Structure 1
């Protein structure tokens, strides 16, 4: 079961304000989205899986099930301008075969620019995305 368009808009609205918070149940994991301070006057949406994030999840060389919730970032090792200089010096074939000149690095990060982007990613990668039941209302009912 995925989130409806109205639910996504409501949750994204909560994540527009500083220190906003949304809890979701995604494929059996509790995923928390928090709006936190990133820089002096800048905020980002930070994702927590089962109440935490672990530094080992950020390394793309190892696979963890929690990585699917994180933002994947692929960067070239060398800028395009430097690569073109190398192609002139060494030839296109040599540069294309060399791992340094044509290589890239992949990392996972736990922050998103907006709540809408984070919600869209979760709906894309997860089979089931639901709003977590409110802990306060369940405690009052008991």
Structure 2
């Protein structure tokens, strides 16, 4: 049974409060989403897949489907902004070949990704779940 629009609104409302909890079954995985402290003064929606969150999912080197479906991707630049600016400026000012200039520009834009097992916005969590999962069932709200 698919989740209706009213149920999605109720899920978002539940995950906007201080002690919200939701249990879903998405593509055969049991998903528990609960409001927890993600840092000393910050609340977030922790996502537990089949009751656990594994550390190996953070960097997802094996390209597991679980972090891609349920966790939030964060991209970071490999270099600080000051160094990226210097690389781009140097590639334009110096007499370099087109290939060298492209190499330094690629270095300046290089990023790495990691997947956080929590979300800070219930709307983005629900949108991501709807986009990545084919079958979604609501089990419990606010248990």
| Distance in 1 separating the partners of 2:58 and 2:73 | 9
Residue in 2 aligned with 1:125?
A: 132
4+ residue runs over 4 A deviation: none
Q: How does 1:62-77 map to 2 (within 5 A)?
A: 62-67=62-67, 68-77=69-78
1:113 to 111, 120, 133: 120
Partner in structure 1 of residue 51 of structure 2: 51
**Residue 21 of structure 1 corresponds to which residue in structure 2?**
21
Question: Larger relative contact order (C-alpha < 8 A, sep ≥ 6)?
Answer: 2
- Counterpart CA distance in 2 for 1:100 and 1:39 is 32
Aligned partners of 2:121 and 2:137: how far apart in 1? Answer: 19
User: Aligned pair 1:34/2:25, yes or no?
Assistant: no
Partner of 1:60: 60
Asked if structure 1 preserves the Cα contact closer than 8 Å seen for 2:22 and 2:140, the reply is no
Q: Is the 8 A contact 2:35 2:43 kept in 1?
A: yes
- SS of the residue corresponding to residue 62 of structure 2 reads coil
Describe the SS at the equivalent of 1:116.
helix
Aligned residue for 1:88, secondary structure, equals helix
Distance 2:103 2:55 in 1: 32
Name the stretch that deviates more: 56-65 or 45-54.
56-65
Contiguous gaps of at least 5 residues in structure 1 = 137-142
Normalising by structure 2, we get a TM-score of 0.81
Report the Cα distance in structure 2 between the residues aligned to 1:95 and 1:33, rounded to whole angstroms: 46
Q: Which runs of 5+ in 2 are unaligned?
A: 93-97
* Cα-Cα RMSD: 2.3
Taking structure 1 as reference, are residues 47 and 115 closer, same or farther at Cα in structure 2, changes over 3 Å only?
A: same
Partners of 2:32 and 2:16 in 1: CA distance: 15
3-state DSSP class of the match of 2:32? strand
